[in-house]
A and B are shown apart, each in its own frame.
Chain A
Amino acid sequence: MTNWPLLTLVTFLPLVGAGFILVMRGDEALVARNARNIALITSVIVFVLSLFLWSGFDSREAGFQFVEKVDWVPSFGISYHLGIDGISLFFVLLSTFLTPLCVLASWISVHNRMREYMIAFLVLETLMVGMFAALDFLLFYVFFEGVLIPMFLIIGVWGGPRRVYAAFKFFLFTLLGSVLMLLAILAIYFQLGSTDMVQALTFKFPVGLQTWLWLAFFASFAVKVPMWPVHTWLPDAHVEAPTAGSVILAGVLLKMGAYGFLRFSVPMFPEATHLFTPLVYALSVIAIIYTSLVALVQQDMKKLIAYSSIAHMGFVTIGIFTLTEQGIQGAVFQMLSHGIVSGALFLCVGVVYDRLHTREISRYGGLAERMPRYSFVFMIFMLASIGLPVTSGFVGEFLVLMGAFQANTLVAFCATTGTILGAAYMLYLYRRVIYGKLTRDDLKTMLDLSPREMLVFAPLLVLVFWMGIYPSSFLRPMQPAIGSLIDHVQTATRDSLKAAQVAVAVEKP
């Protein structure tokens, strides 16, 4: 098993499934049934295979593992180079874990073009996994931007009433950010002579150039995270996307930006990172407080959760730029936790949306009477989103705040208000939807969770508690990678500070 190109297999197996679905013939109902079966089987196999990545992963190693490298465009030094370290391992797992759940969640809620829908999700899975595993800039970029295609179609074809607007906004916003990154990648190529990320990680870029490269990458990742003020595409995209689309969007696509910061901006441009940390802090704090307040007044459940996502991603960016071990670990953990929890929350909204076809909060109320199981599940995820101890959300936020207090007390203080506001809007949402009197007739006929829906939520519930009670199984593999990253950045900044001091000393006679 060790000689298998396991990463390639995990990355491209979904495409094989998509190919099968593509060639299916027959009447529509039959094709739809087969399409979702094939999609489910493929994505489950991919998930199982990706578990081998975890079990085969050496947790003491800081470098990249499962590395595969083949020439791609040799005349430009571009290669097909895959590999994962402690950070990307879990993002790969998150992608492969959420995809089968998305397929399952869309089992009956998608009414038209089931075949294309499933193909889109499988293609999306390939692109997501490939993006987290890529170790070549252009390969990364291909996956990073390729993701836009299936997501554009998912929002646009299966989305809500304003889907066209949302799909265009999503596509063009993210594209504008990423093309600037492409130019930065090309500039890196001329510094480095190849587009290999592993080489770039230890390469010392000239400080002046770093600033520009950092800003170009920031343009791309800030839109993707999304950071205030370029976050406006997210609420639209979330509201209009079908449930499973929102799950992937919140669960994985938002992580691509923060992963980019962690993989590119921080280790490759340490001096620039040092320079721009206040900017990131400021934008993140604004994001946390502002979007939390906005979330408080939302009338639409999905929009509320979308705004809460922006706030939670604010914690992540703060954590990354504290450049402390706790901060970065917390950021990664928070991303994983948010991927699970916000995905689950969108699924919770999807459950009631499937029944009543509205997401307006005021249309609901008193669901606890008729839907006790649903209320319980919703409560757990709601509390995890707030960051209650024993759930996954607590570990991430706690570590981030701990790192933030070491780095900058004011930032930490402001971020903490965000957790309070977070509790406010989530509890308020829960009260309005679940508690109160059940007055409306159509609500009285609503059914509780079906076995299929419980099957979707069960693994998410397990993970939320697992991550909350025993976070070590996730933190341990990422420790060496994060440790070496921090060492690298600190040496680099120290060296350049020293060089600057020497320069000043030389100038002074």
Chain B
Amino acid sequence: MPVYALPDFTPAVPEIFLAVAAMALLMFGVSRAGAKTRPVAWIGVVILAIATLLLEHVPAGRLVTFNGMFVTDAFGTFMKSLIMIGSAISIILAMRYNEREGMDRFEFPVLILFATVGMMMMVSANDLISLYIGLELQSLALYVVAAFQRDSVRSTEAGLKYFVLGALSSGMMLYGASMVYGFTGTTGFDQIAQALSAPSAVNSIGLIVGIVFVSVGLAFKSSAVPFHMWTPDVYEGAPTPVTAFFAVAPKIAALSLFVRVLIEPFGHLMVDWRQIIQFVAVASMILGSLAAINQKNIKRLMAYSSIGHVGYALIGLAAGTPTGVQGLMVYMAIYLFMNLGTFAVILTMRRDGHMVEGIADLAGLSKTKPMVAAALAILMFSMAGIPPFGGFWSKVFVFQAAIQQHLIALSVIGVVTSVIGAYYYLRIIKLMYFDDAERPFEASGIELGAVIFLGTIGTVLLGIFPGPIVAAAQTAAASLFPG
């Protein structure tokens, strides 16, 4: 193809639409500054819904465009759908919260949309350059939403902390990317894979260093130990709907990128990066389960819980097989529902006109709000991996992949930490069911109820009928592995 010809836009239609629509929404928002922001938010949700529909109409199979910078395949479509669901629901979760906390500015949904475009770029990146552009587009929007509650010291601190550490990790990643470029002579994933398929390339120490640095950057973005330090502070400080968003969409995007980078260009070096991933997975699981035990703030608890979950999902990547990637995808799909449901419950925790965030504030919830308590109990059992809920299957499939690859030690550590982790999930159930009632929370509105319902039903249904999503993930995972 001549260089000056227009690239084929069809694979990127959802991204292009989303980007253009987000800019149009920004104009729309500016034109009615000062007015209510709810219409803007709802339009944002509709835009995401349309983009999801467009995603379904992208031609099937592996398509590469923009001179090999951009790729779509079944894996990307699956992960992008999850990301867009996560983003849309985060916007819905934020509406009422933003109004009550006096931070209802129309930029919020717009920023979420831009972040979503960035995440979709990350998932579809097929070149180190496009990877970095996607990552930065996402990150810049996220830094701003983390500090969105301008008058709150905690929120601005969270935004700043996220920015500084995020810039550091971007730098490391860029350094790693330059090493990779230096030792392979190309930035395209396909070309890197080709260069590495030669046996002589495998022993290059510089390349290994490059991969380590790229992995560090990706581990930071997916908040895996030992690059998790920002997570608890940012989760605690950011406004709760933003935390909900952080816990879901960017995490799925970062893990998708992790999977694509390690499996596609660096697939031939699996022996090398598997050690890194195993270590990161084990460390995340252990820290996620132990550090959460003593937390008093529920958002901090969820931060550690999400660190643990990333550890489990990375087991699937450590396996490095289609089964493993499938396990990771199922894990993230179920994780999405569990987390959105849980954060919707956290958003209902409001007394005397203020949000409360102490775990102890949940005491006796089963008496004051039995349905919400039952939903949260289901979500917590699911997070702990107890059948018959979705969280059980997500663990089953990643452990299955690990056992297949004879990663026995990794699996045993995984299940043991899941038992330790069960303790703090049970503690929440204990507070709600075994303890005496605190004063009830204020009424929380229909949107939160709907999201709680959706999250819980999704978790239960995926637990009872995991078949369809597993089959979908199977074809999607297969698309990453040629031949």
Contact = CB atoms under 8 A, between A and B. Distances in A.
A164 B429 CA distance: 11
Interface string B386-417: 11100010001101100110001001100110
Given A138-B396, A156-B433, A187-B403, A176 B467 contact: no
A73 B392 contact: no
Given A152-B426, A172-B426, 7 more contacts: A76-B470, A148-B386, A152-B429, A171-B422, A172-B419, A175-B419, A183-B399
22 contacts: A73-B470, A75-B474, A141-B387, A146-B388, A149-B381, A152-B426, A152-B429, A153-B429, A156-B433, A156-B434, A168-B430, A172-B419, A172-B426, A175-B422, A176-B416, A179-B416, A179-B418, A182-B396, A182-B415, A183-B412, A187-B403, A190-B404
A156 B430 contact: yes
B396 A183 contact: no
Nearest to B408: A183
Nearest to A115: B370
Contacts of B470: 73, 75-76
A142 B382 CA distance: 12
Given A142-B392, A171-B426, A149 B386 contact: yes
B396 A186 contact: yes
B434 A163 contact: yes
Interface in A162-205: 163-164, 167-168, 171-172, 175-176, 179-180, 182-183, 186-187, 189-190
A74 B471 contact: yes
A138 B392 CA distance: 11
Tell which of A143, A146, A157, A190 has the most Cβ of chain B within 10 Å: A146
B466 interface: yes
B434 A164 contact: yes
B423 interface: yes
Contacts of B418: 179
B471 A75 contact: yes
A contact patch SS: helix
Contacts of B434: 156-157, 163-164, 167
Contacts of B433: 153, 156-157
A72 interface: yes
A306 B397 CA distance: 38
Contacts of A76: 397, 400, 470
Nearest to A212: B408
What is the size category of the interface that chain B forms with chain A?
Answer: 20 to 34
A164 B430 CA distance: 7
Interface in A425-446: none
B422 A172 contact: yes
Contacts of A189: 400, 403
B226 to A, nearest CB: 25
A58 interface: no
Interface of B: 381, 386-388, 392, 396-397, 399-400, 403-404, 408, 411-412, 415-416, 418-419, 422-423, 426, 429-430, 433-434, 466-467, 470-471, 474
Nearest to B385: A179
Contacts of A183: 399, 403, 408, 411-412, 415
Interface of A: 71-76, 138, 141-143, 145-146, 148-149, 152-153, 156-157, 163-164, 167-168, 171-172, 175-176, 179-180, 182-183, 186-187, 189-190
B397 to A, nearest CB: 8
B386 A146 contact: yes
Contacts, number: 82
A76 B419 CA distance: 25
A176 B419 contact: yes
Contacts of B471: 74-75
B455 to A, nearest CB: 18
A186 B423 contact: no
Given A183-B399, A190-B404, A145 B387 contact: yes
Contact of A180 (B388, B412, B430): B412
A186 B418 CA distance: 16
Contact of B466 (A73, A152, A156): A73
A112 to B, nearest CB: 9
Tell which of B387, B404, B423 has the most Cβ of chain A within 10 Å: B387
Contact of A168 (B387, B397, B423): B423
Contacts of A74: 467, 471
Given A142-B387, A145-B387, A167 B474 contact: no
B426 A168 contact: yes
A187 B403 CA distance: 6
Contacts of B415: 179-180, 182-183
B240 to A, nearest CB: 28
Given A164-B430, A179-B415, A172 B423 contact: yes
B450 to A, nearest CB: 19
A153 B366 CA distance: 12
B306 to A, nearest CB: 21
Contacts of B419: 172, 175-176, 179
Nearest to B397: A76
B429 to A, nearest CB: 8
Contacts of A179: 415-416, 418-419
Contacts of B467: 71-75
Contacts of B388: 142, 146
Contacts of B466: 73
Nearest to A155: B434
The 7 A-B residue pairs with the shortest CB-CB distance in the complex, in nearest-first order: A179-B415, A142-B387, A186-B403, A156-B434, A176-B419, A73-B467, A186-B400
A187 B402 CA distance: 10
Contacts of B404: 190
A340 B422 CA distance: 33
A77 to B, nearest CB: 11
